Structure 1
Amino acid sequence: MKFTIEIDCTADEARHFFGLPDVKPMQDAAMAKLSQQMTDAVASLTPEAMLRAWLPLSPWSPAQMQEAMSNMFKVPSAPKKQEGR
């Protein structure tokens, strides 16, 4: 014998029926704190701050920096074969 029972209720009504705690205030507080942290993090993401994070302060001159950046994008050539091998 098989019985199927269908109950039409909201999640809040089901939690209340089963005696589960209402976690909505805790979720709201956690989301507010997370939202504030994300807003603060986005505000600190200026181009200058990102450049400092990616390129630490170094004694390089602008010419050396330009050469390092161009070397990063060069395609390596195939190694030359040595004669006699």
Structure 2
Amino acid sequence: MKITINIDCTPIEARTFFGLPDVTALNDAMVSQMQMRLEKGLDPQEVDQAVRAWMSGASAGLGEWQKAFWAAMKGAVGPTDPTQGAE
């Protein structure tokens, strides 16, 4: 059996639904700071190093979030083995 669920929502609605924080202000501040540094003549290599430093844990954090999401979904659906939970 294959089940497909399509959810039509904005990124803001998705963040709110999953209880994630709104990081719009933080993102705006980071972009503003990068623009300011670039306007002052920041070396492109320094930009690359700064972005790598700021985003070093982003991919690991995303992986952990995905694991937690799938664990929550499996828990909501219940056991996939029909013999589990039978009394």
Q: Normalising to structure 2: TM-score of the pair?
A: 0.45
- Structure with the largest fraction of helix: 2
Computing the radius of gyration from Cα coordinates, the structure with the larger value is 1
